Amino acid sequence: MSCMRLCGVSLTNALTWMCLTLGISSSASAATPVSLTIATGNVSGVYYPAGGAICRQINKSQRQHMLRCSVTTSEGSVANIQKLRNKEVPLALVQSNIQQYAFTGTAGFAQNGAMPQLRALFSLYPEAFTLIARQDSNIARFSDLKGKRVDIGNTGSGEHATMQLLLPLFNWKLTDFSVLSGLNADERAQALCDNQIDAFVYIVGHPNGAIREATNSCDTRLISFSPEEIKTILSSYPEYHAMTIPGGLYQGNDNDINTFGVTSTLLTTEDLDEETAYQIVKATMENLTQLERSHPALRGLKPETMATEGLTVPLHPGALRYYREHNIPVK
């Protein structure tokens, strides 16, 4: 029985994946759109609305390419890499540093091994390492976290993975904190305002709903890194870059916040067929104005930046074809 006949009988994820990876096209497949799923993040973050915005642009031209896109929530970048590894989804939003670690099999991915099959479609927006603390916590700098109750993010999130790098870099041990928790992104603001924790970290695009909830609901402040701390981090981990969270985005936080961060990226694997990848990039690049309107963090998107910045794995051939056709420079 052919793949297309099977797809007509049952639109299971396994059969949809088979049709995608084999790149099969026929009159039978044209009758039913092929389903694509983007693994995103928590609903309180930016990945979820960003993924939804990408899907809306793809779905607008469904009759031309017969692709139907939807999103699924997840625990974050690390979890999304695992979903790609297990072929649970064909697409995922992932932080640029996590992308690099997974591709090379380093940092938290050493045990599971490298993923040379990863391919990039484009990058989106900057994601800043955000440290927010209660006003009464006596936390004025990153080093003040010692001895405090700190949430470093759930396992599977990019901030949790980053904190696993920062702790030994600054010669900290788990016992240096009175409490070290791993809440989901949508639980942290409430925990902070309920005085269950003194501070939490979040790698996210700004403005962000969870940070806004914390600053609107209780007396909190965003914490800057010192120039020396940023230099230490960037010299040890060049995949990060210096970043500023503009002042005035959040209540009671009028000054710019000096920190570091990464770039959000849309990844797939070499299993995705070239034409599907091409159509995803085309639908996104030709509707950037609509994409920018979906969330403030997506403002200022430019094809020239999206085709290069934060992409540490090879471009998918379908993405590369689109960029070359439109004279968009690539690495």
Same domain (yes/no): 301, 273:
yes
Q: With 50 as the cut, is the pLDDT of residue 3 above it?
A: no
Same domain (yes/no): 119, 159:
no
pTM to 2 decimal places: 0.85
Which residues, other chains included, contact 58 with Cβ-Cβ below 8 Å and sequence gap of 6+?
A: 36, 65, 67, 68, 69, 279, 280, 283, 284
Same domain (yes/no): 29, 178:
no
Q: What is the CATH number of the domain that holds 146?
A: 3.40.190.10
Same domain (yes/no): 222, 242:
yes
Same domain (yes/no): 40, 188:
no
241, part of any domain: yes
At 132, is the secondary structure helix, strand, or coil? strand
Same domain (yes/no): 144, 230:
yes
Domain end, chosen from 216, 246, 262, is at 262
Same domain (yes/no): 173, 82:
no
Which residues, other chains included, contact 43 with Cβ-Cβ below 8 Å and sequence gap of 6+?
A: 73, 186
Residue-level pLDDT at 31: 57
Q: Provide the residue range defining the domain that includes 66.
A: 3-125+264-325
Distance between CA 329 and CA 7 in Å, rounded? 38
Same domain (yes/no): 28, 52:
yes
Residue-level pLDDT at 14: 47
Same domain (yes/no): 256, 279:
no
> pLDDT, tens digit, for every residue of 186-245?
999 999 999 999 999 999 999 999 999 999 999 999 999 999 999 999 999 999 999 999
Number of domains in the chain: 2
CB 185 within 8 A of CB 212: no
331, part of any domain: no
Distance between CA 64 and CA 67 in Å, rounded? 8
16-20, 31-35, 131-135: the lowest-pLDDT one: 16-20
Same domain (yes/no): 155, 191:
yes
> pLDDT, tens digit, for every residue of 67-107?
999 999 999 999 999 999 999 999 999 999 999 999 999 99
Residue-level pLDDT at 52: 97
CB 261 within 8 A of CB 16: no
**pLDDT grade, residue 32 (50/70/90)?**
confident
At 125, is the secondary structure helix, strand, or coil? strand
Which residues, other chains included, contact 128 with Cβ-Cβ below 8 Å and sequence gap of 6+?
A: 203, 204, 205, 206, 243, 244, 245, 257, 259, 260, 261
Same domain (yes/no): 182, 240:
yes
